[in-house]
Amino acid sequence: MSETATAASFEATLHVRADRAGAVIDRNIYGSFAEHLGRGVYEGIWVGPESPIPNTRGLRNDVIAALRKLELSVLRWPGGCFADEYHWRDGIGVRSSRPRRANSSWGGVETNEFGTHEFMDFAEQIGAEPYVNVNVGSGTPREMMEWLEYMTSDTDSALAQLRRQNGRPQPWKVKFIGIGNEAWGCGGNMRPEQYADEYRRYAAFVKKYGDDNFVKIAVGPSDEDYAWTEVVMKQAAKHIDGLSLHYYTLPTGDWKAKGSATDFGEAEWRSTLSRTLRMDTFISKHSAIMDKYDAERRVSLVVDEWGTWYDASPGTARGALYQQNTLRDALVAAINLNLFNQHAARVRMAASAQAINVLQALILTEHAEMVLTPTYHVFEMYKVHHGATLLELDMNAPAYGSGAEALPSMHASASRDARGVVHVSLVNLDPRRRADVTLTLRGHGARGASGRVLTGPSINALNDFGSSSVQPSSLNVTATGDRATASLPPRSVSVLSIE
C-alpha cells in the first residue's frame, strides 16, 4: 500500500477546551524498561570499557546520546521475569570475579557484568529516574532491605562502606521500587490474596535510608484481570503508592502465533490497532476499582509493561524477543501515549517494553551500528506533553472500516505547556485516506502554529541499518483566531503546536 494509492480524504473536526484544564501529565508516563534478555542489556547498553564501540565506562555513547535527546523519564530494571531470579550481590564488586548464573527465564548465561553500579551509571548518564524491581519470587525482605541500604545509605554502615569500596562514594537517589513482578505468573504463581500478604510484609521493610521516601509499586493485573485489582486494593491499598498494569498488543491475540512484525497486510494492521485500543477499557475499569479504595487517587496506576509483541524475527533465539519496528508500531505507541495522557489523573507512570533490541524497542543495535525506530520518533515528538496540563478534547471523525471491524479513524490528546502553547497529538489510523482536520480552541487565541508529522511509504515501512524511511518532517498548519487547519497524511502521527 503506497502513498500514490491514497488519493481519498475525510474531514475531521476537533474542539479543544483550553478553558478546561485537567490533570498535569506526569513526565514519568514517558519511561521505558530494560531486562536481562537477548541483546537488550549486553550490546544494547553494555559493551564493556575495552570495546572498540565508543563507550563511557562500558556504556554505549550512541545509545546514551539518543536516550538523552528523548528525555526518557524513567528506566525500569532488572526485569520483568528476570527480576524475581536476580540476586543483587551477584552484580557488584570486581566484574571479572562476579558469578555466572543461568538465566532461567530467558535462556543462556547471565555474566553479571551489568549490575547495580552499571545500571545506576547508565540512568544518570541518560537523565532517567531509576525504577528498581526487587526480587519477591525467590528473594527475601532482608535481601531487599540490604539492597536499598547499599544503594541509598550515607551512613558508615557496612553496606554503605561496601558501596564506597566498590567505587561509589555518595548514595544514589532511588525513588521508585517495584515489589515483585507479575506475581500472578512468572513471579510466583500467586493468588491475589497471597500476593497482598507478601506485599504488605515486604512494604513493611522498605526503610528510609536517605532524605527521600521510596515510592512503592505493587504488582497489579494483566490486562482484564479485574479480580486481582479488587483483592490487592482491598487488602493493601493504604500501603501502596502505585499499582502496575501489564498489557501487550498481539495482532492475533494468540500467544502461540502472534504474527509477524514486518510481513502483514491491512487486516493485521487493523487488528493490531483494534487490540491496542483496548488499553482504554483496561485503564478505565481498573481505575474504577481503585477509586473504591482510594477515592483521593493517591495511588498511581503504573503501566510499566506495554507495547507490541510479535513472533521472534527469523534467525533469532526464542528468548531474545528481538523484533523489527514499523510504522504500525509508531501508531500503537502514539495511541497508548494519548491514552495515558487522557487518564493522567490516575496514570502517572509508564514504561514501554522495551528500550533496546527487545519487543517494541526505541533503539535497535547491531554491533557498532544503531538505528532509531519509528517508536523512538513518537516518543521524541510527544516530549511536548511532559509536565503539561491536560486539556479536554471533543472529536468528530468518520469510522475507519465498517461493521464489527470499524475503528475510529482518528485518535488524539491535547495539553498546554508552561509557556501557554497548546499541543495536539493526532493519529490517523486510516492507511488509505488523508485527514483534513479543522481544530477550534475555546479560551485560546492562536498567534501562530506549526506541526510535525511521522509517516512512511507503506504500512510496513521501517528503519533499518543503512536506510530509514520513517522520519519526522514538518507539517503545514494554518491558524487564525481560534481556528487551525491541517491536512494529515494517511497512516500518520502528527503533533500540532499552537501559540
**Residues that are catalytic:** 182, 305
Return d(Cα 153, Cα 285) in angstroms, integer.
39
- From first CA to last CA, the distance across the chain in angstroms is 36
Name the packing angle between helices 374-381 and 61-70 (round to 10°). Answer: 40
Specify burial of residue 422 (Cβ count, 10 A radius: 0-12, 13-18, 19+). Answer: buried
Q: Please, which residues have CB within 8 angstroms of residue 349's CB and are 6 or more apart in sequence? A: 26, 28, 29, 31, 74, 131, 176, 242, 300, 302, 303, 304
Cα 218 from chain centroid (whole Å): 17
The conformation of residue 312, written as its DSSP 8-state character, comes to P
Asked if 360 and 332 touch (Cβ cutoff 8 Å), the reply is: yes
189, three cell numbers: 504463581
Q: What residue has cell string 517494541?
A: 360
61-to-53, 196, 322, 365, 375 alpha-carbon distances in Å: 8, 42, 21, 12, 20
Residue 262 phi/psi, 5-degree rounding, is -130, -25
User: Which of these, 473, 487, 394, lies nearest to 438 by C-alpha position?
Assistant: 487
Strand stretches in 379-428, DSSP E: 389-396, 399-400, 407-408, 410-416, 422-428
In this structure, the strands spanning 59-60 and 55-56 are: antiparallel
